[in-house]
Chain A
Amino acid sequence: MNAGLVILAVIALATLGYFVGRARALAKAGGDIRGLHSLPNYYGQTVFLFTAVPALLVCVGWLLLQPLYVEHRVSDMITPADIAEGSSQSLVMADIRRIATGLDTAVARGALTGADLSSLSADATDVRALLAGVGVALASEVKGSVLAAAKEYRAATATLKMAMSVVVILIALAGFVLSLRRLRPDFRARNVSETAIKALLILASSVAILTTVGIIFSLVFETANFFGLHSAADFFFGLTWNPQFRGGSDLGILPLLWGTLYVSFVALLFAVPIGLLVAIYLSEYASNRVRTIVKPAVEILAGIPTIVYGLFALITVGPLLRDYFAQPLGLGTSSSSVLTAGLVMGVMLIPFVSSLSDDVINAVPQSMRDGSYGLGATQSETVKQVILPAALPGIVGAILLAASRAIGETMIVVMGAGAAAKLSLNPLEAMTTITVKIVSQLTGDTEFASPETLVAFALGLSLFVVTLGLNVLALYIVRKYREQYE
């Protein structure tokens, strides 16, 4: 019985338990729901939960641990002599798994019978040809010990699968029976259901947190590998970025960091004033009718894929800036430039700034506006001197969020700013950012274990630290000032 069927069976049993539990609770109370502690549905839910949850947990745990156990048993059967030159234990294990599945397929197709299989030996039969016949291609001839290991692998897996089906269904049945026996009118089924909901919510939030932790760990380990191969001083303080295929590269983060910050700065310089003015117009001046049209229209900008912005930068803004600014002023000849990427990214960020600031400005109490108008202030005086100061922490938060978005942006930079790592002040020159270099280092032809590839993780971690710092700062500012205005 395979795992899917087992799970279905457990759920079917649990569903049955729901109806039985509900009916039983009602029957115990003599048909009068006022005699029950909770509504009948809750008793049904209790039975469902006690039947399904422990069984499914065991099932999942089993499925996770089973391969580990089987591989551990099988790996004892492989001697160092079985591992060919240039190969490794893990490659041999992969072969064993492939042969095991191949044998399964062969049995299923009828190319082998159970009796054939047990007498099958590597010396007598061409296992490689046999498996190729059922569509499993192997790189080399199958050795006797490997075939034996594969057979063992197959057998152990089959036994354990059967054992799992039995255990899981037994647990489900036990939960079913025990929970039904516990049902009494004064049993607090609502509270059980409440606990289950709470557990579900905690589970959901821990998925987010554990993923973050996982991401950090994967970055940290690879970064540690990188610093084992390359000097940290060169990475953090090096002024040149010049990766070589042969090794001996200069991998200084500073030109990339400079490019990142420069492009982001230009983008924010463009997006913050415009976004803020849009927010002020929408929240303070625009009539309801205008607002219902303009606000969604601005937010459409946030829905445009960044690659489309990148195309816009590549074919429209870049050449435009080159032909009308860079060349006439003699500042550069490249259509890829910091200014191109910055401007286009700025457009992308406008809705971030405007939408968040708009919410913040709307949250300033009407009594503040009344107070100011009541003293004879005009609308713009009110906005400038009362609304904006009151909304400032939220606005700063919005700007910092936009900033971390800008720092992490990749596509617009690849297509707008180019890929040349440079330390330059000229905004009309091509430069590049950390994100772009992460992509190009990881997708290159160099070996994974080389510093040229691993540097991507160090870059990623540095970027992560920078944006994390910005987000923490944003949260800190927002929290610090929030209560002051409430």
Chain B
Amino acid sequence: MYDAPNLGAKVEQKTNKIEANGVQVYYGDTHAIKDVSVAIESNTVTAFIGPSGCGKSTFLRCLNRMNDTIDICRIEGDIRLDGEDIYDKRVDPVQLRAKVGMVFQKPNPFPKSIYDNIAYGPRIHGLAKSKADLDEIVEKSLRRGAIWNEVKDRLHEPGTGLSGGQQQRLCIARAIATEPEVLLMDEPCSALDPIATAQVEELIDELRAQYSVVIVTHSMQQAARVSQKTAFFHLGHLVEYDNTSTIFTNPRDERTESYITGRIG
């Protein structure tokens, strides 16, 4: 069931959630992202693929301004979330990150209990009015993170005590708990075994109903399995961006074809 490309795109009318135009990113003197323009649709899983160092993670981190924390990083161009420029002076990156959540390559639960890990975001942003409210958010997030059944009896044990796959689903649940509109995932399965990967992929597919998901992956099979749209990056350029089925069956650019068939990368 995981081998066939997901051909179920174009089910409903989609709007562009994020629009990037002419984005350039520099790390000091290195020109990491060269003139990338892409439109990410709502309720869609968009995969960024490409060889290591092609800039896909860098670009992903531009979408919620995580690159702001790196001193030498400089960004030009225009990225809009729901039509609003996220690099505008009036936009608070902290607020933006609450709307555009992120899941990282390595599971990074906080050294707190499972409950506190999930409650972290809601507490910061004041999403819960009462303890009962917070309990409900935690349960709902853990359920949506497909980990509730495994942890419901040990909510007050440390999150670091879970297995790698559980930790990653905990981190996804933690990101969901702040009610983001977009979920960015930077190689979320690279540290996981195949079974945990399958669970996370299943989860990503379910998340599509509520969020717009952007996933960076090294595994082309994974991109084919979970995404509806795929963007292929190479040496800082966005080479091709299209429906996943098109990219994998009928790519326009020969570099895409070479990469997909394993000749470059």
| Chain A contacts to B: CB under 8 angstroms | 287-288, 365, 367-378, 381, 385-386, 389-390, 484-485
Contact = CB atoms under 8 A, between A and B. Distances in A.
B56 interface: no
Contact of B71 (A287, A369, A370, A375): A287
A375 B101 contact: yes
B6 interface: no
B175 interface: yes
Contacts of A365: 108
B244 interface: no
B91 interface: no
Contact of B110 (A287, A368, A373, A378): A368
Interface string B93-112: 01111110111101011111
Of A370, A381, A385, most B-chain CB atoms within 10 Å? A370
A389 B112 contact: yes
B243 interface: no
Contacts of B109: 371
Given A372-B120, A376-B121, 13 more contacts: A367-B104, A370-B69, A370-B104, A373-B69, A375-B97, A375-B98, A375-B121, A375-B174, A375-B175, A376-B97, A386-B110, A389-B112, A390-B111
B24 interface: no
A378 B68 CA distance: 12
B43 interface: no
B108 A390 contact: no
Interface string B61-84: 000101001010000000000000
Contacts of A367: 104, 106, 108
B143 to A, nearest CB: 19
B256 to A, nearest CB: 30
A373 B178 contact: no
Contacts of B71: 287-288
B160 A375 contact: no
Contacts of B124: 375-377, 381, 385
B158 interface: yes
B192 to A, nearest CB: 15
Contacts of A371: 104, 108-110, 171, 174
Interface in B115-141: 120-121, 124-125
A485 B160 contact: yes
Given A367-B106, A368-B110, A374 B69 contact: no
B104 A485 contact: no
Interface of B: 64, 66, 69, 71, 94-99, 101-104, 106, 108-112, 120-121, 124-125, 158, 160, 171, 174-175, 178
B214 to A, nearest CB: 13
B110 A390 contact: yes
19 contacts: A367-B106, A368-B108, A368-B111, A370-B69, A370-B104, A370-B108, A371-B110, A372-B120, A373-B69, A374-B101, A375-B120, A375-B124, A375-B174, A376-B94, A378-B94, A386-B120, A389-B110, A389-B111, A390-B111
A395 to B, nearest CB: 13
B35 to A, nearest CB: 26
Contacts of B101: 374-376
A381 B103 CA distance: 19
A373 B111 contact: no
A369 B104 CA distance: 11
B40 to A, nearest CB: 17
B64 A374 contact: yes
B104 A374 contact: yes
A308 to B, nearest CB: 38
A377 B125 CA distance: 8
A385 B110 CA distance: 9
A374 B117 CA distance: 13
B76 to A, nearest CB: 22
Nearest to B96: A376
Nearest to A483: B160
A368 B64 CA distance: 17
